[in-house]
Structure 1
Amino acid sequence: DITLAHGSSTVCPSRMPSVPGSNPPNIKYQQSDMNAIARLVKWSYHEGDLKSGAPYPPCTGMHRQAMCVYGAGDLKWIVQQHHLLANKFDPETRVYLHIMSEKTSNLCGNKQLESLTEFF
């Protein structure tokens, strides 16, 4: 999804040296998409066993262009991450996403967002 790919880079100004609030060009400020806050993506070539050092577990949905199309089994992992948005969901997860949306709205109103992980 080209629009999302370009849109997520605009949400993350630290990658653009000429934008106010960005970090000066330096290796210590480099961020991969795994560290960026804008968009959560699971790449097929980084998935694996967490105990063996993989950055994230295997996708429970399917892959499109090496990106995970999240399945219902990925939702618990997603809510444990710090990202603002998650990339591509399988249409079969729609009911789960609706439930998560309602639960998140209720928790945000009560300032208890941490307990969303208890939902799973």
Structure 2
Amino acid sequence: MNWLIVIIAGLFEIAFASCLGKVKETSGTPMYLWFGGFIVTMAISMILLVKATQTLPIGTAYAVWTGIGAVGTAIIGIVVFKDPATFWRMFFITTLIGSIIGLKAVSH
């Protein structure tokens, strides 16, 4: 159950990074709304991470959380923000996914 909480927290990390990207692109009222979304999703992500680490190893849970956020944010960057999808970027995203799965597999 706590690994599911880490995954959900990672999805909220993707959301807060995406909101931050939209803050950069907008101005006026929409910028403040995206910033509000950033604050809310960041708080939810952190609260869920704290909850999960009450029973999971902090190092593993944090690494999985940041990995989910990094991979998801990179994919959102490519799809939404038109970041380049170069061979090396995709190679290292794939390597990161493999590392997250491996770390989860060897944790007790």
Kindly name which structure, 1 or 2, has the bigger radius of gyration based on alpha carbons.
1
Larger relative CO (CA 8 A, sep 6+): 1 or 2? Answer: 2
Write 1 or 2 for the structure with the bigger share of strand. Answer: 1
What TM-score results when the alignment is normalised by the length of structure 2? 0.27
Write 1 or 2 for the structure with the bigger share of helix. Answer: 2
What TM-score results when the alignment is normalised by the length of structure 1? 0.25
